[in-house]
Structure 1
Amino acid sequence: MNISYKKLWIMLIEKDITKTKLREKIGISTSTLSKLTKNEYVSMEVLVKICVELNCDIGDIVELNNL
């Protein structure tokens, strides 16, 4: 199963928020942001922080793809 954060990047564009600004607001490391950019797994804590900051649900930022 593959994970995709494409929905997150679209949402950031729509809200005019850069990846760096999001990273700074929620207090995650550059390596965690890199994992998100590469569609790698991150902790549920990180996903919850993103959802709280963007006022959305996890399904609004994450998509699971079966291969």
Structure 2
Amino acid sequence: MADCGHAQEGYFNYNRLWTLLIGKGMTKMQMRLQAGISTNILAKIRKDEPVAMESPTKITTALNCELDDIVEIQERGITE
């Protein structure tokens, strides 16, 4: 399965997910178990590393929300 966590010009920032979890009074581990994702995937998400789209989809299903409720695409800094 291809990694889709990185857009061509940016990357997924999961700060919205952490804010949503705080609002729901849910821990990252509770979310992980409810969404059915592995500890390795959670570690990648915590570091804003690329993951297959299956994982954010599982999270949105578990939390009953949309993708843009949990991620924001950030632009990469370009150095010349």
Q: Secondary structure at the match of 1:40?
A: coil
Identify which of 25, 50, 61 aligns with 1:16: 25
Q: Spell out structure 1 runs of 4+ moving beyond 4 A.
A: none
Structure number, greater radius of gyration: 2
After TM superposition, the structure 1 = structure 2 runs for residues 54-65 of structure 1, keeping only pairs within 5 Å, are: 54-65=63-74
| Unaligned segments of structure 2, at least 5 residues | 1-9
Give the match for residue 66 of structure 1: 75
Q: TM-score, normalised by structure 2?
A: 0.79
Partner SS, residue 26 of structure 2: coil
Quick one: distance in 1 between partners of 2:74 and 2:33?
A: 29
Structure-1 separation of matches of 2:73 and 2:63: 20
* TM-score of the two chains, using structure 1 as the length reference: 0.92
CA-based RMSD of the aligned residues comes to 0.9
Unaligned runs of 5+ in 1: none
Percent identity (aligned): 43
Structure 2 CA distance for aligned equivalents of residues 17 and 51 of structure 1: 14
Separation in 2, partners of 1:26, 1:57:
14
After TM superposition, the structure 1 = structure 2 runs for residues 1-67 of structure 1, keeping only pairs within 5 Å, are 1-67=10-76
